[in-house]
């Protein structure tokens, strides 16, 4: 399964749909789901509501899948975008593409979190978009210089080294081995190297900071492996599904088993978190590929395609424009999840999502795509 086998032009619809499915939950899908859950009794709410928020520390929820799934799909795009450039123009052109996208995405991240107007100490250097930028750069560099075996070796070494660091080596200045919210290696490194921001009560560190970027890069690399499978001409479509799902299940088993030693913790992007989220990503990719590209059930996919081809556009748009406030002005209602007016909340969330989709439809029909 080598990248040289990739044809000149190939677009796999299920990849765009999976990307759109992932972003759907960030542009109003989560609010809609929460509104629907609030219509049920307390017992159902107690089960489902936590799934639409991040785990407090140890554990894994549905919402914890969104970020690594986007990393996974972004890794797939690395193969699609760089393979042709490498073959036709060489490494220099590939690096030029990588660096341009890295810089733009990183700058979008700085803007997303408030820019630099409040002073250096309040600039969020590492947020979601910045982590995506850095992992995209690292993954692209690895893809340019390593074949499949080398990429697998890098993945194993990084995950094993991160496990050893967190589970066997004491955190400096404490003298103890710790992966608690109050004391861990990610917190220690970021408190030294990043501006003194206090985010989410975690102390002086950023949960999307420096150290966790290395295992997050492996989440992105997993997408590269998935692309190798999908583009391997030696495999028929059904075998590609088997490989994707089989690898996904295998990673889930290893990740859950390994969690006895290293818990699944999103906020430090633990090695087990990489494997569990990556396993689910492989399984979802296999399912979407089977439904869309093998069985050709595509009529339901258009909305997700609108989202999937313009993910950064809508992500930035919903930060710069308050779609929820516009929705409440149109339909009344409320965006307060804890309001007793459940139906008002539901209608407002539906309208907010509709507004996002109308914008995406407008851009798609006019072939306007934000390429970074």
Residues 71-93 pLDDT 10s: 999 999 999 989 989 998 999 99
Is 281 part of a structural domain of the chain? yes
Asked, for residue 247, whether it belongs to a domain, the answer is yes
Calpha distance 279→60 (Å, rounded): 13
Residue 91 lies in a domain: yes
**Would 324 be classed as within a structural domain?**
no
* Number of domains present in the structure of the chain: 1
Range of the domain at 181: 67-290
| 323 CB-side CA count, 13 A | 22
pLDDT number for residue 10? 58
**175 assigned to some structural domain:** yes
**Could you tell me how far CA 163 lies from the centroid of its own chain?**
21
**How much of the chain is helix, strand and coil, in % rounded to 5?**
70, 0, 30
Residue 176 bridge partners (DSSP)? 171
Q: Is residue 309 part of a domain?
A: no
Let me know: does 63 contact 53? Beta carbons within 8 Å.
Answer: yes
User: Would you state the pLDDT for residue 318?
Assistant: 92
- Our measurement of the distance from residue 15's CA atom to the centroid of its chain's CA atoms, rounded to an integer in Å, reads 14
Element containing residue 15 per DSSP (H, E): helix 13-24
The answer to whether position 349 is within a domain reads no
pTM: 0.92
Which of the residues in the chain have pLDDT under 70?
1-10, 117-121, 195-205, 372
Rounded Cα distance between 19 and 83, Å, is 20
Task: Give me the pLDDT at residue 86, please.
Answer: 92
């Amino acid at each position: 399964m080598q990248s040289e086998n990739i044809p000149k032009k190939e677009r796999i619809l299920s990849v765009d749909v999976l990307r759109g499915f992932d972003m759907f939950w960030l542009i109003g899908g989560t609010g809609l789901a929460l509104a629907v859950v609030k219509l049920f009794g307390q017992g159902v709410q107690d089960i489902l509501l936590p799934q639409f928020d991040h785990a407090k520390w140890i554990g894994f929820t549905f919402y914890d899948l969104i970020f690594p799934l986007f990393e996974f799909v972004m890794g797939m795009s690395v193969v699609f975008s760089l393979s042709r450039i490498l073959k036709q123009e060489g490494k220099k052109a590939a690096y030029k593409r990588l660096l341009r996208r890295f810089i733009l995405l990183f700058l979008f991240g700085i803007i997303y979190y408030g820019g630099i107007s409040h002073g250096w100490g309040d600039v969020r250097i590492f947020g979601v978009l910045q982590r995506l930028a850095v992992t995209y750069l690292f993954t692209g560099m690895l893809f340019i210089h390593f074949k499949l075996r080398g990429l697998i070796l890098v993945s194993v070494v990084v995950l094993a080294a991160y496990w050893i660091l967190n589970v066997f080596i004491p955190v400096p200045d404490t003298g103890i081995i710790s992966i608690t919210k109050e004391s861990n290696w990610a917190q220690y490194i970021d408190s030294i190297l990043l501006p003194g921001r206090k985010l989410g009560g975690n102390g002086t560190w950023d949960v999307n900071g420096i150290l966790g970027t290395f295992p997050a890069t492996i989440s992105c690399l997993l997408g590269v492996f998935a692309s190798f499978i999908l583009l391997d001409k030696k495999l028929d479509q059904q075998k590609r599904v088997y490989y994707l799902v089989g690898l996904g299940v295998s990673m889930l088993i290893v990740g859950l088993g390994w969690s006895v030693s290293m818990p699944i913790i999103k906020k430090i992007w633990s090695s087990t978190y990489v494997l569990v989220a990556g396993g689910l990503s492989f399984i979802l990719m296999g399912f979407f590929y089977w439904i869309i590209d093998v069985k050709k059930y595509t009529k339901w996919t258009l909305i997700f395609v609108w989202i999937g081809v313009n993910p950064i556009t809508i992500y930035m748009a919903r930060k710069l424009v308050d779609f929820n406030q516009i929705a409440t002005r149109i339909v009344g209602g409320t965006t307060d999840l804890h309001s007793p007016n459940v139906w008002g909340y539901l209608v407002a969330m539906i309208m907010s999502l509709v507004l996002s989709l109308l914008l995406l439809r407008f851009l798609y029909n006019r072939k306007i795509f934000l390429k970074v």
